[in-house]
Amino acid sequence: MRPACTATLLIDDDRVRVTRFDFLPGAETGWHRHGHDYVITAITDCPMLLEEPGGAMREVLVTAGTAYRRLEGVEHNVVCNGEAGMSFVEVELK
């Protein structure tokens, strides 16, 4: 069993939800499905192991200062796959 990441809610209003995620090495979000379109901005380099439905796994590196967006409906578990911790901010568009 992996440790859970720390999720800190920064803003939650009628338009957006902004959450900071901090991971120790090996920590995970736990399985979840995104109910909104969202944008991730990496605070640190984020070496991620993405566990996806059906048993698929992908390793990705989101470098510090970069961002990406995904559409509502993404389902996965995000695991810190590096030897250092990682942090990112997620903005969900309501």
Q: Please write the tens of the pLDDT for every residue from 13-66.
A: 999 999 999 999 999 999 999 999 999 999 999 999 999 999 999 999 999 999
Number of domains in the chain: 1
> Looking at the domain assignment, is residue 1 inside a domain?
no
Domain at 71, CATH number: 2.60.120.10
Q: What's the rounded Cα separation, in Å, for the pair 87 and 83?
A: 13
For residue 80, is it within any domain? yes
Is the residue at 81 inside a domain? yes
| Interior angle at CA 32, CA 80 and CA 10, nearest 5 | 75
Asked, for residue 53, whether it belongs to a domain, the answer is: yes
Q: State residue 67's pLDDT score.
A: 98
Does residue 42 sit within a domain?
A: yes
Q: Could you list the residue range(s) of the whole structural domain that residue 88 is in?
A: 6-93
Rounded to 5°, angle at Cα 91 from 6 and 30: 40
